[in-house]
Amino acid sequence: QVFLERDCPGNPRSSCVEYCRLSCYSSLQCNFWQYYLGSGCWVDEGNVLHPLTNAQLRRGWDVAIAGEYIQHFCPGLGWTPAKEWTMTARDTICSKSSKVKELSHVSSVLGCQAQAQRNEDCGKTTFTNGTACFCLRPGGLCEREHFIGFDLYERND
């Protein structure tokens, strides 16, 4: 526990949540944080097992109003910062056509985006569920189709 709600100056639903988030961001060991009304800010101190599961989260005490699972990365080392990509639709894919290219399996949305950005056959649109990764070739139109588990992203450059 980083701090109790009563020890935080400001509104628990805004500034205290922000202080909690920044406490986690400032520690390279922190993988997730949670803020509870009543008991305040709780952050991981590097003890989380990967992947994070519900069993590792603090529960049954107070009402959780915010929290986040984070992954630290260094820009410029092969990762694509998330702010360069925007999710444009949930549970959506582009209909299969000659303009859709399947990329090799990845372990995250960021991994899919990094592959698409390096691949000259890919345009600015990807759709992924975090393990399967597809991109739309330049000039291809995405005819959106409902498909559970896949999210559609567009690169902003």
Inter-residue contact 140 to 99 (CB < 8 Å):
yes
pLDDT at 121 over 80: yes
Inter-residue contact 136 to 123 (CB < 8 Å):
yes
Q: CA 75 to CA 64: how far, in whole Å?
A: 31
Q: What is the mean pLDDT of the chain?
A: 79
- Between 28-32, 72-76, 79-83, 147-151, the lowest mean confidence (pLDDT) is in 79-83
**Residue in the block written with tokens 């915010």:** 66
- Between 11-15, 53-57, 58-62, 80-84, the lowest mean confidence (pLDDT) is in 80-84
Q: Which two tokens stand for residue 29?
A: 């060991």
Q: From 99, 107, 113, 105, select the one nearest 152 (Cα to Cα).
A: 113
Provide mean pLDDT across the span 38-42. 88
Q: What per-residue confidence (pLDDT) applies to 83? A: 47
Provide mean pLDDT across the span 87-114. 80
Q: CA 147 to CA 90: how far, in whole Å?
A: 9
Q: Which two tokens stand for residue 88?
A: 């444009």
Q: 3-state DSSP: the chain helix, strand, coil percent, rounded to 5?
A: 20, 30, 50
Q: What per-residue confidence (pLDDT) applies to 143? A: 79
